[in-house]
Structure 1
Amino acid sequence: MTIRFSLDRWAAWAPGLPDAEAWQAWLAAPRPLPDEGLPALAEMPAMMRRRLERLGRIALQAAYWGQDDAAPCPIVFASRHGDSVRTVALLRQLAAEDGLSPTAFSLSVHNAIGALFSIARQDPTSYTAVALGEETAEAAFTEALGLLAGGEPCVLVVCYDEPLPEPFDGFNRSDEFPRAWACRLSRAQAGGLSLETLPAQAEARATDLPPDLTVLRFLLSTETTLEHTVGARTWRWQRHA
């Protein structure tokens, strides 16, 4: 059975795109964006906020806006590379045979950003962190749809990434930039959206946006179908009348 869902709320942040109106205009006509800038993240206590690198601040700004004042719900945090800036810094320290800070290491793991969100909000609701390369957004929604199928009334999905630092920057797409977006999902009784996976329907095609933003553009559009092929698998997103 394919679970259909509705998009109840969404939010996003990136340098130069501070609100929903700016995002809608940019998704309709993408252009280069600045690589610098931080959200205020005023919702988070300052002592907690100082523990975050740039990616964490961006991710949690989207999470706070996506959650807003609604009742707590499970959260799926999704990032292809996670906090790579902090991880690379730790690797450089290891290479130099310097001692590692246990705190820095604990904040470099893939679920650390979600943990800080949970602690700051004193929210014991479950959260998950996922990564699946170019299919990370689809992995996040698959996890969320499983939670909806299991009886959860709503789930918050938070997708976030930033360009990889040196020496891994050669793996970056030319259109990478720091960004995060969040969607609050609920189960749709009629119409709504769906996601399914099929054997590859066609060869993978290059897109004008990173894969997660291609998904966001579809979710906010009126298009009926989006197909994303990776290797032997095609993800099919559909909008139902």
Structure 2
Amino acid sequence: MPDLHWTIPVARWSSWPAAASAAPDIGFIEPIVRRRLSTLSRIALKVAHDCVAQDDVRVVFASRHGELRRTTDILRSISAGEPVSPTAFSLSVLNAMTGVFGIARGDRSAASAISAGAETLGYALLEAYAQYATQPASPVLLVYADEPADPRYGTIEDEVQGGAIAILLNKETAVGQLVCTLSGADAAASGSGSAQANPAEAGAETDADERFATQSQALQHCLDTRKSAAWQGTGVTWHWSWHDCAA
């Protein structure tokens, strides 16, 4: 697999840690809707709202599990012969957050939802870039939010960390560029962008040599520190680096 590179113009970004003790402020959502939202949707809406003003914006929402916990509760109700709330059902779909966000803002712009296993965030970044490159005059908002699956599903390989990240793609107001690289098994084995490369053999230690357990941890490290980070998947390596925009 040949390397795939793309560069994202980052105008704003926001994140919400899974371990946060405070509840996210989503006062822009009407109370009657707000009280029905899950924690996942709340943190997704929080970081999304942090990144956009009043302008219309296309949205790419990404989540490996989505509203799986809500869906699990629905299945429990069905199993017990109990009625299922229509509201709970409507909010259990993967793209529920995008609908709530669009209605709250009065924004009819296109929205899409992505789930791609442990590589969900990486492919969402690629989708957001592809949409922006097709129509660069229109900003694109990437929102990633996830939480671990219900324990009853057992052990899940490369389980998510939880939390949320949002990135607004807009070259006109960009403060930096996020360079994304997807490398195949051959590049990973040679140490190019690999999270498993040996720093001593490479002659210098870099942040990209540190292995992150999830893609969101690697991306968060890159955004927070402006240093390169990588995540090793099955036969592929995802690598991110930051470059400030010229003043």
TM-score, scaled relative to structure 2: 0.76
Change (3 A) 1:109 1:175: closer
Q: How far 1:187 sits from its partner (Å)?
A: 4.1
Q: Does 1:212 align with 2:197?
A: no
1:123 counterpart SS class: coil
Which of 186, 204, 222 aligns to 2:226? It is: 222
Which of 79, 92, 97 aligns to 2:76? It is: 92
Whichever residue aligns with residue 109 of structure 1, its letter is V
Which of 138, 141, 150 aligns to 2:134? It is: 150
* Correspondence for 1:75: 59
Residues 3 and 149, structure 1, Cα contact 8 Å, conserved in 2: no
Residues 163 and 169, structure 1, Cα contact 8 Å, conserved in 2: no
* Correspondence for 2:203: none
* Correspondence for 2:207: none
Unaligned runs of 5+ in 2: 197-209
Aligned counterparts of 1:170 and 1:218: Cα–Cα separation in 2: 28
* Correspondence for 1:5: 8
TM-score, scaled relative to structure 1: 0.78
2:170 counterpart SS class: strand
Q: How far 1:207 sits from its partner (Å)?
A: 4.0
* Correspondence for 2:29: 44
User: How many pairs are equivalent?
Assistant: 219
* Correspondence for 2:237: 234
2:128 counterpart SS class: helix
| Mapping for residues 125-140 of structure 1, pairs under 5 Å | 125-140=109-124
| Mapping for residues 116-195 of structure 1, pairs under 5 Å | 116-153=100-137, 154-168=139-153, 170-171=155-156, 176-177=161-162, 179-187=163-171, 192-195=177-180
1:6 counterpart SS class: strand
Aligned counterparts of 2:212 and 2:240: Cα–Cα separation in 1: 18
Change (3 A) 1:116 1:175: closer
Aligned counterparts of 1:138 and 1:192: Cα–Cα separation in 2: 16
